[in-house]
Amino acid sequence: MRIAVCPGSFDPVTIGHLDIISRAAKIFDKVIVAIAVNPEKHFSFNEDERKDLLRTVAKHENLNIEIDTVEGLLADYAKEKGATAIIKGLRAMTDFEYEFQMALTNKKLNPELETLFLATSAENMFLSSSMVKQVAGFGGDISNFVPECIADRIIERLSGGKK
């Protein structure tokens, strides 16, 4: 069985993430969406909330994926789960340096593990969780940026009553 890990902060999950995850699910027998737990990083949604948002989206979209959290190194986690690939979306050249650095580091830590990049769909080139949070924070319309089934929850949480 070919297993892939789609790691990320998913703070919150966007339609860009959803596009990459569902494309990965067509290629691999099993896809584990691994939510990073990093105590040094400030997240707007805690681990359980990010997991719950992803679960809602997976159910709504009928996605056959596993949702989990990764607390240590991704390279170790992938080994533990029997995964042979990490799948990441690449939006533009601006993503490349950071992603390349992570891919090479993970390869050194776990030589059996390949990082595969999927080119983001053209309509999601500009999209990021940070941008979604900023728009929602000002009470703006995020309906084109996040799956519809979770949009209200994100707005309610981030708009601070502006909407």
Q: Which two tokens stand for residue 163?
A: 């909407």
Residue of 18, 70, 83, 87 interacting with ligand PNS (CB under 6 A): 70
Contact 81, 63 (CB under 8 A): no
Decide: is 7 part of the binding site for ligand PNS (CB under 6 A): yes
CB of 108 to ligand PNS, least distance (A): 9
Output 103 or 163, the one with its CB closest to ligand PNS.
103
Q: Which stretch binds ligand PNS (CB under 6 A): 3-11, 20-28, 48-56, 148-156?
A: 3-11
Decide: is 36 part of the binding site for ligand PNS (CB under 6 A): yes
- Neighbouring-strand partners of residue 1: none
Output 57 or 74, the one with its CB closest to ligand PNS.
74
Decide: is 120 part of the binding site for ligand PNS (CB under 6 A): no
Closest CA to 82 of 2, 162, 148: 2
Q: Which stretch binds ligand PNS (CB under 6 A): 2-10, 42-50, 136-144, 151-159?
A: 2-10
| Residue 28 vs residues 7, 21, 46, 51, 110: alpha-carbon distances, Å | 15, 10, 28, 21, 19
The residue written with tokens 């319309």 in the block is 141
Q: Which stretch binds ligand PNS (CB under 6 A): 7-15, 44-52, 60-68, 153-161?
A: 7-15
- Neighbouring-strand partners of residue 4: 31, 85
Output 39 or 161, the one with its CB closest to ligand PNS.
39
Tell me which residues in 88-117 interact with ligand PNS (CB under 6 A). 102, 105-106
Q: Which amino acid is at 125?
A: M
Q: Omega into 12 within 30° of 0, i.e. cis?
A: yes
∠ at Cα 58 (5, 31), nearest 5°? 20
Residues near ligand PNS, by CB under 6 A: 7-9, 36, 70, 73-75, 102, 105-106
